[in-house]
Amino acid sequence: MLKSWLRVLFIGILFLASSSLLVALTFFQSSVGSIIVTTNPSGAQIWLDNRLIAKTPAKLEDVPTGKHKIKIIKDGFYFLEQEIKVEEKQTTTLPLFSLRSNKPIIETVSNIESSPAERIKEFRRLAEGAYMRGDYTFPPNNSAIYFNNAVLAINPNDKQAIELHRNIYDALSKQAEVAWDKGDLGTALSACSQIAAYFPDDKDALEALKSVKNKLATRRNMIPHLLRLTDLALDNERWISPTGNNAYYFTSQILAIDPNNPEALTLRLHIKDSLLNSAGDLISKDDLQGAVKLYEKMLPLFPEDSRITSKITVINEQIEQQSNATKHSR
């Protein structure tokens, strides 16, 4: 009799366990979706939440619903990353990721079959565009001086390139002069350093750079005050504006005085993270144009962070696809 009851109890437990497993599996299956990922060129690695999943093009199945971070990586190209949201039992088709070569633009253009005159025309266009944006020497491989030097490498006597070379020098000199007059020694140091690096024969620039450094050496006692101003600006979310009265400006002054100041370096990272979070909030509100504008403001401030360029590329592609979809729907 006891054995019979034990057998019935065992069967009951087994039935309940099987039912629970079935319910769990059904729930799991209904709480997943899928993602379609394509790139140009194809063959890029797809990383989902820091795990290598597949190579493009691919359809990722049974992805848990909710938010995920996807990263696209391919040798010879800048990586792209984006936050995505997977809906239950839905297939999310991501916009085509157009990968941008991380080779210098000069090398890319030079590899295209074209005449010297055509290459000069293209480099001149890029140089003038960078000059109008105020990108005189930064970013290093996408600046006015970079492209203008490419023109001069092809034709050292190109009159337009020689004139633009001088205009770049004048713009940096003016920038240094204005910053010096305002007491903005961080910007003055940056401008003078750029002149000294790209116009090494200019003795006036070297003297100006020496004067700025000497002036900065006398300001070490100002660092505690500048740190307090930085904290105050952060408390009021004045990360990069208004001009001359924001957290980034104050940390720049500190780092001009002491490039290795640990507190200022930490605060600089905090400023960048705050701006990235703000851009993410704009994206979540579908304000893609606003996010791009913020990223573009960040680009010259944090040129070492390739994520910013990557995010601008991804969002601009989304904006273009939305625009095309709107046109086709009319």
Domain extents in the chain: 21-98, 104-218, 221-330
> Which residue carries 């401008």 as its tokens?
191
pLDDT of 25 reads 47
Nearest to 304 by CA among 272, 282, 263, 267: 272
pLDDT of 230 reads 96
pLDDT of 18 reads 53
pLDDT of 252 reads 92
Alpha-carbon span 67 to 60, nearest angstrom: 15
Structure tokens at 267: 């605060």
266 and 272 Cβ atoms separated by less than 8 Å: no
pLDDT of 17 reads 52
CA-to-CA separations, 89 to 34, 53, 68, 322, in angstroms, rounded: 8, 20, 16, 24
For 21-98, CATH number?
2.60.40.10
pLDDT of 140 reads 75
Per residue of the chain (330 residues), give pLDDT as tens.
545 544 544 555 554 455 554 444 444 455 889 999 988 888 899 999 888 888 998 889 889 998 888 888 888 777 788 888 888 888 888 877 777 766 666 655 555 567 888 889 989 999 999 999 888 998 777 889 999 998 998 899 999 999 999 999 999 999 998 988 888 888 888 888 888 888 888 888 788 888 888 888 888 999 999 999 999 999 999 999 998 899 999 999 999 999 999 999 999 999 999 999 999 899 888 899 999 999 989 988 887 787 788 788 888 888 887 777 666 666
Identify the bridge partners of residue 184 per DSSP, sorted by sequence position: none
CA-to-CA separations, 228 to 13, 33, 53, 223, 275, in angstroms, rounded: 66, 49, 46, 9, 20
CA-to-CA separations, 285 to 160, 170, 315, in angstroms, rounded: 45, 42, 13
DSSP for residue 95: P
Residue 37 main-chain phi, psi, to 5 deg: -125, 125
To the question of domain 221-330 being in CATH 1.10.1740, the answer is no
Amino acid, res. 206: L
